[in-house]
Amino acid sequence: MCRHLGWLGEPVSIASLVLDPPSGLRVQSYAPRRQKHGLMNADGWGAGFFDLGGQERRWRSASPLWGDVSFASVAPVLRSGCVVAAVRSATVGMPLEASASAPFSDGSWLLSHNGVVDRGVLPVSRTAESTVDSAMLAALIFERGLDHLADTVVEVGSADPSARLNILAANGSRLLATTWGDTLSVLRRDDGVVVASEPYDDHPDWQDIPDRHLVDVSAGQVSLTPLKGSS
Ligand code: GLN
């Protein structure tokens, strides 16, 4: 089970979101606090963001985030108002390669999947970036369109009842997330909104999102909707 983090707000440095917080993704790569599946996230990482000109950028790796001194050197000067980052704990049998690390992209959206899904219930896609379940799921979500994220998650969840489908996606002006089997928290800051698998610090404003919900963030507003089929 991986951990992911999204940011939508004023431009801030990637390091301030991912590397600097006391329990940020860097620390979660070896000591997550709320992870239910897997002990650490050492199988890769990815940081995707929209630069100040609106261009999508990605930096992904199959190595542990905690040891990446090149990223640590550059991340303080990478600034963005829209970020999707993740650290990966590969599901047994899945490929270990940079292209299997989130975020995945269709050119407009960056997408991370925290969970597992039976690849047999997903259509074969020629556009998936890797054979990892998350890339195949991302390809399906991209094909259906992010406006239909909730329906796609419910449909895949009914096809594979043991699937865990926490999705996080952003396109520069909107951030979407689902809870389906794992943890998610939201922090509203004065300068923007953080959506993360687990809080990166102990600030009292972190709000835990109940299971089987859709979180939709845009223009500083956060809305929460139960997913169909939730109990
Ligand atoms: N199933 C995905 C993978 O193998 C995601 C795993 C996870 O959430 N830990 O990479």
79-123: pLDDT as tens digits: 999 999 999 999 999 999 999 999 999 999 999 999 999 999 999
| Cβ 89 under 6 angstroms from ligand 1 | yes
| Cβ 134 under 6 angstroms from ligand 1 | yes
55-83: pLDDT as tens digits: 999 999 999 999 999 999 999 999 999 99
Cα distances from 189 to residues 34, 65, 208, 224, 228, in angstroms, run 22, 25, 15, 17, 29
- The reported pLDDT for the residue numbered 133 is 98
CA 140 – CA 125 distance, rounded (Å): 8
Band (36; pLDDT cuts 50, 70, 90)? confident
CA of 56 to the centre of ligand 1 (A): 23
Q: Following CA atoms 126, 131, 134, 140 in sequence, which dihedral angle do they give, to the nearest 10 degrees?
A: 20
| Cβ 115 under 6 angstroms from ligand 1 | yes
Q: Which of 29, 122, 134, 165 to mutate to test the pocket of ligand 1 (most atoms within 8 A of CB)?
A: 134
Q: Structure pTM?
A: 0.97
Nearest residue to 194 (alpha-carbon basis) of 220, 213, 230, 172: 220
Band (14; pLDDT cuts 50, 70, 90)? very high
Task: Provide the mean pLDDT of the chain.
Answer: 96
- The reported pLDDT for the residue numbered 38 is 81
Q: Order of strands, edge to edge, in the sheet holding 56-61? A: 56-61, 45-50, 79-87, 3-13, 192-196, 185-189, 207-208
Band (230; pLDDT cuts 50, 70, 90)? low
